[in-house]
Chain A
């Protein structure tokens, strides 16, 4: 099938791309739009390195055709924080050694971002359950969980201070 016009927003910017229906969203993001935060780990929907946020839900961008995301709002790790203005999760991952090689980290941050929107004060068990779709082959998860819990504390503390 010929290429189709696909429109969506990525990190608040409207995008209009041309892609064949068989093009996976992760490839459109990385190769057409140069949004390389979401990584390709397994490309078989297991590892979660490609996790993005679509209309407020965590989704693996390797298991979705770009055309299926037509009309949606997509957020990637690039939209969560920047080097000059890190999100509390990003600070916490750095502070608590929530990464070693870092390959899974964009997916971890993006999923954890949504997890903390859904459940601002999770228990350790809830963090582990909520992060079950994201694999890390380096850390053994201890420091990832610690980072997310620390970020939740900081975000809640900031909220309380603002009130």
Chain B
């Protein structure tokens, strides 16, 4: 930390001591602004601009030492075909691992299951016989279906829809579909056919033309909307949103869950396995497994802190209203309320438009109004 940043923090603390009043602006924001001006802040990382609202007078925190925060997650829409995770994490990533790294991973995942911290694995490989954890097989060829607990299909158009119909007849477990940037157009169809959820890789989708210049939070928000659209007018039976890609630490996981992610596709453990293999002269499976294990246990306790401070007893109850952002861009992309006004940017645009319509006495229907709001939001973005 630089000297001028230390001075800002000191000044801020002195202010609190002198006035006894809460800060009007977070100290982080002041530092962030300075960093932005100096060009040292990485531009466009909207995760940094999203903060948890914290405990309030009317919403006392659950004591995390007394009340356990539930992290258990079920994947699957039908009662008899659900996969249960003790942590909302599926280890998933695009790393090519050596056999010894894979063995270390299996060792770690089995140990985690023994310690009531079951997480799942998404892999192209066939499930290992000694596994205690749920294995989701990435299935490119329907004839290579082994004996997984769940299946992941990559969306490649109508063929995927046909595959789901076919697999659903012989496989009872959950089917997830890894979607491309056009998920909004076909998610409802996939769920209709019996898929149990979608997997969005924010890194891959953010590279597409459609999401050019947009952040992972926009992709998560839109993916949740696509699932919600399927449930319009009916009761939600639990279709799952798995978010992978740019969600690689506990802070981002909590924020992603608030935006609608049910499960995180997490590649950090794979990274540890890979790095363990390359950075040490002597690769020890047990030491690497222990590192992965420790990392997941620490992540587990990190995940419970914010939900507890927000008065929740279940991790999955986080919603966008639990967060605030100082960035208009983040508010627009993730529909997150802005700090200070407690309204989303969309709400503000709606209010201004309503006022204009009233003052000018304009006759306009709901559809036209929504079209104008979308145009304004699109342009601003």
A and B associate in one complex: no
By a beta-carbon cutoff of 8 Å, the part of chain A in contact with chain B is none
